[in-house]
């Protein structure tokens, strides 16, 4: 019984140690995303940033959701990473309504 209890305790400690405290930040971009090429350009380049775990884009809502490890990077570094691929990123929240700029042209097509 003691061995089982000790094994379970070790397993729980290992699970807690393995769990990461990830954070998600939401950005909107200028110029705005227009198509799958825009999404691919952002995802394809930002995925190489240190600490990035997941990137989700939503063209309709004009938002980029980035899940990252705050021990390896910061929101500011992620924001600057957008500039490397020709976008300016502005932090927003998941419930914000972003107006779509219909007059912008997509340069990725």
Residue 33 has pLDDT above 80, yes or no: yes
The structure's pTM equals 0.77
Between 42 and 103, residue with greater pLDDT: 42
Q: H or E segment at 47?
A: none
- Are the CB atoms for 65 and 24 separated by under 8 Å? yes
Provide mean pLDDT across the span 75-92: 94
Quick one: pLDDT at residue 14?
A: 61
Alpha helices in 1-109 (DSSP H): 2-18, 36-46, 75-83
pLDDT, tens digit (0-9, with 9 covering 90-100), for 64-83: 999 999 999 999 999 999 99
- Are the CB atoms for 89 and 29 separated by under 8 Å? yes
Residue with tokens 């600057």: 80
């Amino acid at each position: 019984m003691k061995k089982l209890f000790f094994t379970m305790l070790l397993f729980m400690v290992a699970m807690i140690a393995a769990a990461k405290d990830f954070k998600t930040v939401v950005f909107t971009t200028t110029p705005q995303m227009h198509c799958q090429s825009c999404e691919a350009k952002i995802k394809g380049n930002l995925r190489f940033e240190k600490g990035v775990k997941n990137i989700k884009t939503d063209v309709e809502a004009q938002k980029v959701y980035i899940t990252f490890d705050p021990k390896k990077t910061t929101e500011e570094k992620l924001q600057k990473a957008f500039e490397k691929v020709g976008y300016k990123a502005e932090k927003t929240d998941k419930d914000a309504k972003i107006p779509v700029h219909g007059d912008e042209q997509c340069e990725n097509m």
